Structure 1
Amino acid sequence: MMSELKKTPLYEKYLEDGAKVIDFSGWALPVQFSSIKEEHITVREGVGMFDVSHMGEIIVEGEHALEYLQYVLTNDASKMTDKKAQYTMICNEDGGVIDDLVVYKLGENKYLLVVNAGNTDIDFEWLKSHEKDGVTITNVSSEYGQIAVQGPKTLEKLAPEVKEDISEMKLFEFLKDVEIFGKNVILSQSGYTGEYGFEIYCKAEDTVAIWEALLNLGVTPCGLGARDTLRLEAALPLHGQDLSTDITPYEAKMGFSVKLDKGNFIGKSVLETQKSEGVKRKSAGIELLERGIARTDYEVFDNKDNKIGYVTSGTQSPLTGRSIALALIDTDFTAIDTEVYVQVRKKRIPAKVVKTPFHKN
């Protein structure tokens, strides 16, 4: 029941705007406002916004904060500046991905970790279990709201409303304590759609005012349905499907987020071996050649009826109408144009391995 689900500060606004609300990782969130296809195309061609206030926020601070992050995260946190965020992962000892996240350096010894909503408590407990002297870890998720404004027309909507010049900001660059619509926020040039855009981190109590101001500018509200089809066209992984504690960064083709030369970190030994010896299975983009949709967990076969893996994420592209998917399959079958077959209900449908991302802006 909706009454038992967690709600973001924008929950009442969804209902006013006629959104269809669903249970997502224990949160009541909008799957769509108009239609998934309309919202998807709006973000590809114009500008849309998403409530992502369900995402988790964890502060890591203290004298040894950097040293600690270097041990619990896969990327090299020492490369971050006060204006550049970093995509990274938390791995277990076997190299499996506990979560993928973005880290913001807020000060000399203070970092903001933005984690997936369904993993917030798991991540927090894992981080606390490896806590060191000189480090304080705090779950501040309830203090933040987050709105993602995405699409090629984002800048023309946001730039006049921000006190600083944001026109030259590059991916993962951010401004802290910047003013927008009279509210102090963190403004990050980032997103989960494959389009140009910004993510606004604000005080929870300011979320509604910022959302309403964006609505007044003509920014279209979008739901989780379009967010998922957009990220899949961009071949961005979803934790729990394309990434998991059983899938490593190298298997997911996200090895850029692992820096083996930075010193010791959790999972390094296994990841070092995978980097030098290669992986037996790997994520690949596939496209069905006949009608059907490749859903998560559908089995993938070679042309001799041998099972070679499974679909991790799949959809019908709202842009092209093609059935696209990410699949974790035997590495021998990941070359472009390799013929594979996907078991869709009782039918085995031919498919081919294609380049990712499926869509590039």
Structure 2
Amino acid sequence: MENPLANTPLHDTHTALGGKMVPFAGYAMPVQYPAGIRAEHAAVRTAAGLFDVSHMGEFTVRGPQAEDLVQYLTVNDVSRVAVGQAQYSALCNERGTILDDLLVYRFADRIVLVVNASNRAKDWDWVTRHAAGHDVEISDDSDDIALIALQGPASQEILTPLAAVDLGAIGYYRFAEGYVAGVPATISRTGYTGEDGFELYLPAPAAPAVWNAVT
């Protein structure tokens, strides 16, 4: 028997909007809405589109040797990442084989690894096994965090009235902590569409309210 699909915190929102739900990385995810893929693509290229990427995994590393552990696990140079900056990198095994690509976020008191949903379990196993011997505390916070991506040339204009931070001051692959629609959020100028945009890391229960505020 196949394992049942997991739902993101926005599942009910997607179904109410008529989203066509399909299996993806163990989750029920909307592959398209009634307007169709062409219209959605055009919106992202000319204005903005909103994506639910809450299936992604988030691992938090804290402690005196947090940087040492992440430096050991990933291929990019974490020592060059400033507080408030994100870095694209990869997890590799001892032979240099890529296990996953990921984003590394440096906060003042922690480092957060954002991994792909399909690799979350094996990535967590790899990270925890190699954390032994390091003075760190690690946690898998994936189920507590929702991730919404607003992507497209109009993203900043749309998000500005809702954000209690200066979005113009957030550079590419930089982030700030603040509020969106009154909800505490990490606001990151990152994305995967090739357009300008923001990714919003939110408490999972607040995701529908923020989604509705943005739309």
Do the aligned residues in 1 keep the contact of 2:170 with 2:176 (CA within 8 Å)?
Answer: no
TM-superposed CA distance for 1:2, in Å, is 10
> In structure 1, what residue type is equivalent to 2:186?
I
Is the 8 Å Cα contact of residues 53 and 147 (structure 1) preserved in structure 2? yes
Paired residue for 1:146? Answer: 147
What residue in structure 2 maps to residue 57 of structure 1?
58
Letter in 2 for 1:12: D
Give the aligned residue type for 1:88: S
Say whether 1:46 aligns with 2:47.
yes
Structure 1 residue 4 displacement after superposition: 1.4
Report the Cα distance in structure 1 between the residues aligned to 2:212 and 2:97, rounded to whole angstroms: 40
Runs of 4+ in 1 over 2 A off after TM superposition: none
The residue that corresponds to 1:78 in the other structure is 79
* Local SS of the residue matching 1:210: helix
Deviations 1:117-137 (A, max 9, x none): 011111000011111331122
Distance across 2 between alignment mates of 1:115 and 1:208: 22
Residue pair 2:91, 2:101 contacting (<8 A) in 1 also: yes
- Mapping for residues 14-163 of structure 1, pairs under 5 Å: 14-33=14-33, 34-108=35-109, 110-131=110-131, 132-163=133-164
Q: Which runs of 5+ in 2 are unaligned?
A: none
For residue 169 of structure 2, what is the aligned residue in structure 1? 168
Please report how far the alpha carbon of residue 10 of structure 1 lies from its aligned counterpart in structure 2 after TM superposition.
0.6
Q: Which structure's residues are more often helix, by fraction? A: 2
Match for 2:28: what amino acid?
A
1:3 is displaced (CA, Å) by: 8.8
Tell me the TM-score normalized by structure 1.
0.57
Asked whether 1:9 is paired with 2:14, we answer no
AA at the equivalent of 1:210: V
Q: How does 1:212-291 map to 2 (within 5 A)?
A: 212-215=212-215
Q: Quick one: which amino acid aligns to residue 159 of structure 2?
A: L
Question: How far is 1:94 from its partner?
Answer: 2.1
State the alpha-carbon separation in 1 of the partners of residues 157 and 134 from structure 2. 46
> Matched residue of 2:134: which SS?
coil
Please say if residues 5 and 26 of structure 1, whose CA atoms lie closer than 8 Å, have aligned partners that are also in contact.
Answer: yes
Q: Give unmatched runs, 5+ long, in structure 1.
A: 216-361
Q: Is the Cα contact below 8 Å between 2:69 and 2:134 reproduced in 1?
A: no
Which string of whole-angstrom CA distances, capped at 9 and with x for unpartnered residues, describes residues 151-203 of structure 1? Answer: 00111101122122111322111002x01101110000000100000000000
User: Structure 1, residues 225-267: CA drift from partner, whole Å, max 9, x if none?
Assistant: xxxxxxxxxxxxxxxxxxxxxxxxxxxxxxxxxxxxxxxxxxx
Whole-Å separation in 2 of the counterparts to 1:94 and 1:129 = 16
Cα distance change of structure 1 residues 191 and 17 upon mapping to structure 2, 3 Å threshold: same
Report the CA distance between 1:41 and its aligned residue. 1.1
CA distance in 2, matches of 1:128, 1:48: 36
Q: Distance in 1 between matches of 2:80 and 2:134?
A: 23
Larger radius of gyration: 1
Q: Percent identity among equivalent residues?
A: 39
**Aligned residue-pair number:** 213
Q: Aligned equivalents of 2:159 and 2:92: distance in 1?
A: 36
Q: 1:39/1:62 Cα in 2 relative to 1: closer, same or farther (>3 Å)?
A: same
CA distance in 1, matches of 2:72, 2:165: 35
Q: Which has the higher contact order (CA 8 A, sep 6+)?
A: 2
Give the match for residue 329 of structure 1: none
CA contact (8 A) 1:2 1:28 kept: no
TM-score by length of 2: 0.95
Aligned-pair distance for 1:83? Answer: 1.2
Which string of whole-angstrom CA distances, capped at 9 and with x for unpartnered residues, describes residues 68-115 of structure 1? 11111101111111111111110112212101101111224x111110
Q: Specify the code of the residue in structure 1 equivalent to 2:24.
A: F
Q: Secondary structure at the match of 1:192?
A: coil
